[in-house]
Structure 1
Amino acid sequence: MAAATDTPLVNDIRSASRAMVRELGFMASTLAGTPYSASAVHALLEIDTHGQVTAAQLAEYLGLDKSSVSRMLAKLIANGELQEEPCADDARAKQLLLTAQGQRTVAGIHAYGQTQVRSALAQLNPSLQQSVAQGLMAYAQALQAHRLGSAAGQDSAATLATSSIQIHSGYRPGVIGRVTEMHAVFYARHWGFGAFFESKVASGLAEFSGRLGEPCNQIWTAVHNERIVGSVAIDGQDLGNNQAHLRWFILDDGCRGGGVGRQLLTQALAFCDQRGFASTELWTFQGLDAARKLYESLGFALVHEETGQQWGSAVVEQQFSRRRHGA
């Protein structure tokens, strides 16, 4: 009988995970065209990544007990893949390094894996390729955070999740649809907003995109593997009175908590200061506590709130303002 907590989503992920284990060859006694087990192959890859590690560090990276790692390392050393050297700061400890043979073995492992991935991605369209990359990374990091079971583990996962994200300024193909999608999905899930809200975001973004040629307007996007995962815009025209309007600040679920939001806002506010706006204004609503904390840390203050329905549902609307120093 299925557990009470089983859901179609959980079952789909478990089924896909089993299929990946089989298709990637983890059911076999050896992996990646080598005579070594999966744990030994991963050990070689980790040593290659870090340059040199101790046995204790390797056990932590792999999530294996020290005795299993010790036996595995003894075999790799005996086979000429690894060598040991005394640690510079502790002669009793040993550093593990790849030998020349080990470097050739790792190069073969990388070539084998790259061929596997390229062959699989060739079966998917570009959009699905990006979704796979983002989803797999987020899921792997969530599994790691669960295993570590601590705030440190969650921080580590968030750091990994955002380490390859880049911030770009200006229009990018697909920005209107993607930023609208992120808004629609997040606010429908957490606040019950519907078609009215989504259409308002889409129409506003479309109108604003036509004004990006004006030097007082700009949009920034956070991009991971060519997929937009965050955005913020500064509209320097719609408020008048030398005020900037901060709009469409949103992050994909997979990259919250890793500093990407702060990077986006920092670049947007630097633009406001460079353009000489007297103040930067933003409108949001009560309940978005994480965003409010970030706004206030960057100099915004709540200046007005009242109940309204401009987002399609009754909420306590809030206006935050940040004045330029000396203004």
Structure 2
Amino acid sequence: MPVTKDAVLPIRDASRRIVRELGFMKPTLAGTELPASAVHALIEIGNRSGLTATDLCDRLNLEKSSVSRMLRKLIDGGELTEESSDTDGRAKRLTLTVQGRRTLAAIDAFAQEQVGSALACLPATDHAMVVEGLRLYADALHARRAAAGGGPRVATPPAVRIERGYRPGLIGRAVDMHAQFYARAHGFGAVFESRVAAGLADFLPRLDRPDNAVWTALDGDRIVGTIAIDGEDLSGAAPAPRIAHLRWFIVEDGRRGGGVGRRLLDEALAFADRSGFAETRLWTFRGLDAARRLYEAAGFILAAESPGDQWGTEVTEQSFVRPRRS
């Protein structure tokens, strides 16, 4: 789509100010005696030990000669070690030394304070907007480079990770994401929000039982998605078939369409299949077409639909069923 000067100029201005405020105009960065390229190299290697110089060229968008000189200084300075790859004797795998890990910890602490204190100047309600705006712009810059033939030649690990189990703030974040989304999508209000909160409050103390599990999608320490399998509320006494209930599946605004929901769903359904449930069921509402496509791609079939107002607003409720996959 056409890009107007009215969009470009404010972004250019903001980009210049960000570069200055973060200290990139200085010869060293992040409270260290290292230049920006070396600081970024330590961060990348710390996040994924075993990278090669070629990997860093792609990740840092630097020429091979520049990366080689920078790595030699870091190795000579005791920050890194290199060793031959098990699969390619010509490649050298890079790893942080003890000193390098200390340096990286100091960099992380500096950045945490720098970014955290800036966010503290904003209302908490604006934090997610800042996160999403910066992520979208960074992704767009990367897409531009990749389209020009300068994209990475190695897979970049996903920014969002999926973890199983309870973590502090789970109820609050899950309820907030549900309330915000369904208020817009269906006009739900206090009745819906309170029922989501009550259901989670009942479920989480039961996580110590083997048929129950919850997963969160995490961007850093921020919860950006949730899903759960409740193996008790739909299963009757033996010998009745065991039924898994897929619940509290939500992804934060701005994260949908990027694969986070699919990864959460894959984790939950793999657990249900491993646990031997005869089938998995979920309840949702008509009109959530993107979610329905995701469910059907995973093997769910629409089993029933009917009008209902238990959530405070009249909607068409839908029930989906997925038989166990061996």
Q: TM-score range with shorter-chain normalisation? A: 0.5 to 0.7
Determine the structure 2 residue equivalent to 1:292: 292
- Residues 273 and 324, structure 2, Cα contact 8 Å, conserved in 1: no
Determine the structure 2 residue equivalent to 1:43: 41
Rate the CA distance shift 1:6–1:194 in 2: closer, same or farther, 3 A: farther
CA-to-partner distance for each residue in 1:111-137, whole Å, 9 max, x for gaps? Answer: 244234246536749x78995996599
Residue 160 of structure 1 aligns to a residue in which SS? Answer: coil
Rate the CA distance shift 1:106–1:205 in 2: closer, same or farther, 3 A: closer
Determine the structure 2 residue equivalent to 1:185: 180
Pair 1:202 & 2:193 matched: yes
Residue 232 of structure 1 aligns to a residue in which SS? Answer: strand
Rate the CA distance shift 1:218–1:55 in 2: closer, same or farther, 3 A: closer
- Residues 279 and 321, structure 2, Cα contact 8 Å, conserved in 1: no
Residue 107 of structure 1 aligns to a residue in which SS? Answer: helix
- In 2, Cα distance between the equivalents of 1:268 and 1:245? 9
CA-to-partner distance for each residue in 1:97-121, whole Å, 9 max, x for gaps? Answer: 5797xx6467335424423424653
Rate the CA distance shift 1:268–1:138 in 2: closer, same or farther, 3 A: farther
Rate the CA distance shift 1:167–1:135 in 2: closer, same or farther, 3 A: farther
The alignment yields a C-alpha RMSD, in angstroms, of: 5.1
What amino acid is the match of 2:216? A
Structure 2 residue ranges without an equivalent (≥5): none
What amino acid is the match of 1:182? M
What TM-score do you get using the length of structure 2 for normalisation? 0.63
- Sequence identity (%): 32
Residue 319 of structure 1 aligns to a residue in which SS? Answer: strand
- In 2, Cα distance between the equivalents of 1:279 and 1:71? 56
| Deviation at residue 156 of structure 1 after TM alignment | 5.5
- Residues 94-243 of structure 1 aligned to structure 2 (within 5 Å): 95=92, 104=99, 107-108=102-103, 110-118=105-113, 121=116, 124=120, 138=135, 142-143=139-140, 145-146=142-143, 147-149=145-147, 159-163=157-161, 165-168=162-165, 173=169, 175=171, 177-187=172-182, 192-193=184-185, 195=187, 197-209=188-200, 211-212=202-203, 220-222=214-216, 224=218, 225-233=220-228, 234=230, 237=233
- In 1, Cα distance between the equivalents of 2:79 and 2:49? 14
| Deviation at residue 250 of structure 1 after TM alignment | 1.1
What amino acid is the match of 1:231? T
- In 2, Cα distance between the equivalents of 1:216 and 1:45? 38
| Deviation at residue 247 of structure 1 after TM alignment | 3.6
Pair 1:257 & 2:259 matched: yes
What amino acid is the match of 2:214? W
- Residues 84 and 94, structure 1, Cα contact 8 Å, conserved in 2: no
CA-to-partner distance for each residue in 1:59-117, whole Å, 9 max, x for gaps? Answer: 112112334435545666787877887767667x46375797xx646733542442342
| Deviation at residue 161 of structure 1 after TM alignment | 2.3
What TM-score do you get using the length of structure 1 for normalisation? 0.63
Determine the structure 1 residue equivalent to 2:304: 304
| Deviation at residue 21 of structure 1 after TM alignment | 2.6
| Deviation at residue 48 of structure 1 after TM alignment | 5.6
Determine the structure 2 residue equivalent to 1:66: 64
What amino acid is the match of 1:319? S
- Residues 45 and 95, structure 2, Cα contact 8 Å, conserved in 1: yes
Q: Give the number of the structure whose alpha-carbon radius of gyration is greater.
A: 1
- Residues 162 and 260, structure 1, Cα contact 8 Å, conserved in 2: no
- Residues 141 and 160, structure 1, Cα contact 8 Å, conserved in 2: no
What amino acid is the match of 1:95? K
What amino acid is the match of 2:20? R
| Deviation at residue 39 of structure 1 after TM alignment | 1.8
- Residues 231 and 249, structure 1, Cα contact 8 Å, conserved in 2: yes
Rate the CA distance shift 1:206–1:239 in 2: closer, same or farther, 3 A: farther
- Residues 161 and 254, structure 1, Cα contact 8 Å, conserved in 2: no
- In 2, Cα distance between the equivalents of 1:236 and 1:78? 59
- Residues 54 and 94, structure 1, Cα contact 8 Å, conserved in 2: yes
| Deviation at residue 257 of structure 1 after TM alignment | 0.4
- Residues 245 and 282, structure 2, Cα contact 8 Å, conserved in 1: yes
Alignment length (residue pairs) = 302
